[in-house]
A = this chain, B = another copy of it.
Amino acid sequence: MSSTYGESLKLSIFGQSHGPAVGMTLDGIPAGLPVDFEKLQDFLNRRAPGQHHWSTPRREEDRPEFLAGIVDGYTCGAPIAAVIHNINTRSGDYDNLKDLPRPGHADFTAQIKYGGFQDSAGGGHFSGRLTAPLCIAGGMCKQWLEEMGILIGARIVSIGDVQDESELNPVEPQLDQIRKDFPVISEEAAEQMCRKIDEVRAAGNSIGGMIECCITGLPAGLGEPMFGGVENRIAQIVYGIPAVKSVEFGAGHLSGSMMGSQCNDAYTIVDGQVRTLTNHAGGILGGITNGMPVIFRVAVKPTPSIVKPQQTVSLENQTVYPLVVQGRHDPCIVPRAVPVVEAAAAIAMYDLLLSNTQTTRRK
């Protein structure tokens, strides 16, 4: 498996943070699907660094170059391949990471697994930069889903203890309520969160957050039993986003403190359609969509790279060592992670649609 995902589509992500390029191949996509490159670029820009004053000042051009699979703006049936060349690499910053692993980072685990051969510059293959090719694949899948009336939108639920007080209606979410400038619903939350991030940065610290993702317009019946359910497949890809430590659906971890009479979503009929009055199931029963919005939440841990001194060890000397991480790092990657979560969801759902084995008969 490793950096490869999918049942019917085969996504392969490659690249290291400071290597020549990051990129992806996406195999198994039908021919004849249009790609709107401008819209894709807009989507990639939502993830790109340097868009906000509080984001890392490194300025990278996330302009994908398509090497294969698209002709005259349409998929041609051959595998799609795209790369983003790395133009702003500074390998010198990272020389001591193989000996002095940063707490919370993959430095140590990479050192053990790869025996010192890993590319440690900028986090190598474990860098958040690898979410850029994920967004290329996801941005295209998102467009193809939109063509089918399936929309995906994510928002920040909280950063640290700052909540977005407004909520999406889980039964009928209005995705256009999510702000374009900062992906929350209430303007006040946007301001408070930005202020929070500024404070944290000033303190040489970092902060985590919670993201909610909604998928609307899905038909009922998508997903396979047991290990091929919607939850399994979304969780598998979403845990591929660095820093994600929790993936929950519908009422999620709160389900554990509910009674059946509370948690069960009663059925009703709306305009001839079977609907539920609540959506604690997050649109999924038995791993299969029930036609309600699919809703999941993801916890993003704080960026591990902080200026504040931390304790690490020298692997060579086997001694404890105080560490101050140099370099320019995001104090909070949660806003940039929002489109990445959407991308992951789009890839999982598009793959599900391609591989779905729904019957076409009725008893």
Contact = CB atoms under 8 A, between A and B. Distances in A.
Contact of A1 (B4, B7, B13, B31): B7
Given A2-B227, A103-B266, A117-B361, 13 more contacts: A23-B81, A30-B359, A77-B110, A101-B267, A104-B265, A108-B267, A109-B285, A206-B261, A231-B244, A246-B255, A248-B299, A253-B297, A261-B306
Q: Which of A14, A110, A266, A288 has the most CB of B within 10 A?
A: A14
A109 B31 contact: no
B116 A362 contact: yes
10 contacts: A1-B228, A2-B28, A14-B68, A19-B67, A108-B290, A109-B288, A115-B362, A245-B255, A263-B302, A268-B320
A154 interface: no
A209 B119 CA distance: 43
Interface stretch (A45-53, A170-178, A274-282): A274-282
A16 to B, nearest CB: 6
A247 interface: yes
A335 to B, nearest CB: 13
B232 A240 contact: yes
B227 A231 contact: no
Contact of A264 (B104, B125, B157): B104
A258 interface: yes
A200 to B, nearest CB: 7
Interface residues of A, number: 158
Nearest to A121: B71
A148 interface: no
The complex is assembled from copies of this chain, and their number is: 4
Given A287-B239, A302-B255, A67 B226 contact: no
Contacts of A308: 260-261
A84 to B, nearest CB: 10
A44 interface: no
A260 B104 contact: yes
Interface stretch (A56-64, A138-146, A182-190, A310-318): A310-318
A256 interface: yes
Contacts of A268: 311, 313, 320
Count chain B CB atoms within 10 A of each CB in A208, A244, A267, A282 and give the residue with the most.
A267
Interface string A90-113: 000000000001111110111011
A363 interface: yes
A358 B283 CA distance: 30
A22 interface: yes
A125 B77 contact: yes
Contacts of A303: 260
B236 A32 contact: no
A114 B208 contact: no
A347 to B, nearest CB: 10
Contacts of A249: 245-246
